[in-house]
Amino acid sequence: MSRIMVDGTAPRRGGSELSVGEVSQRSGVAVSALHFYEAKGLIKSRRNNGNQRRYPRSVLRRVAVIRVAQRTGVPLAIIRQALLALPQDRTPTAADWNKLSARWKAELNDRIARLTELRDQLGGCIGCGCMSLKVCPLRNPLDELARQGAGPRLLKQR
């Protein structure tokens, strides 16, 4: 019994390029998300004679990096910048990926510190009704922080 892919083609064995359906199946990412990633410049494909997208196998690693980075809260713009630093003409090596991860390490450590601080303050700050207490980090008497802009100002500072 032969298998049929989402895009109606049979799966290839060892081919150098993948259809959008094959990338979707292999990565677990919806075809629409792959199209979105391509529109945002995160991944690239070429069009064959039938105007169908064809992706290099190395796109699977890139899609995996995108998904992991998104789960950790890295914005797509930063993911795109990092991926642009990787070689486009060959599969990235371990050294290439190490450079990428080193760029994100400081940002991720900062994000972890901010999230840890927020987690530790959640029980005592949000929804407690103590906005008059001087020890509350969210206290903003007379809306003094409105001059700095909209939204939460104290938790963003660092």
pLDDT the model gives residue 15: 67
Residue 115 within a domain? no
pLDDT for position 1: 46
pTM exceeding 0.85: no
One-character DSSP codes across 116-128: HHHHHHHHHHTTS
Query: 126 versus 118: which is more confidently predicted?
Result: 118
Nearest to 69 by CA among 116, 111, 30, 120: 111
3 and 11 in contact (C-beta within 8 Å)?
Answer: yes
Residue 128 located in a structural domain: no
In sequence order, what are the residues at sequence separation of 6 or more whose Cβ sits closer than 8 angstroms to the Cβ of residue 11?
Answer: 3, 5, 22
Q: How far apart are CA 45 and CA 18, in angstroms?
A: 9
> Is residue 112 a part of any domain in this protein?
no
Q: What pLDDT, on the 0 to 100 scale, is given for residue 123?
A: 65
| CA 154 – CA 158 distance, rounded (Å) | 9
pLDDT higher than 60, residue 104 = yes
Would 57 be classed as within a structural domain?
A: yes
Structural domains of the chain, count: 1
Q: Which pLDDT score is estimated for 158?
A: 47
Top pLDDT among 41 and 157 is at 41
What sections of 29-146 are H helices per DSSP? Answer: 31-39, 59-71, 76-84, 94-125
- Among 50-54, 93-97, 101-105, name the most confident range: 50-54
Check which CATH number belongs to the domain holding 23 and give it: 1.10.1660.10
4-63: pLDDT as tens digits: 554 455 555 556 899 999 999 999 999 999 999 999 999 999 999 999 999 999 899 899
Q: What number is the average pLDDT over the span 100-128? A: 78
Sheet holding 46-47, edge to edge: 17-19, 53-56, 46-47
Query: Does 118 reside within a domain?
Result: no
pLDDT at 125: 57
SS3 label, residue 15: coil
Q: Has residue 64 been placed in a domain?
A: yes
Question: What range defines the domain where residue 15 resides?
Answer: 1-92
Which two structure tokens, joined as six digits, stand for 139?
């206290």
Residue 147 inside a domain? The answer is: no
Find out whether 34 and 18 touch, Cβ atoms under 8 Å: no
**Mean pLDDT of all residues in 85-112:** 84
Residue at 101 is within a domain: no
Structure tokens at 23: 């990338």
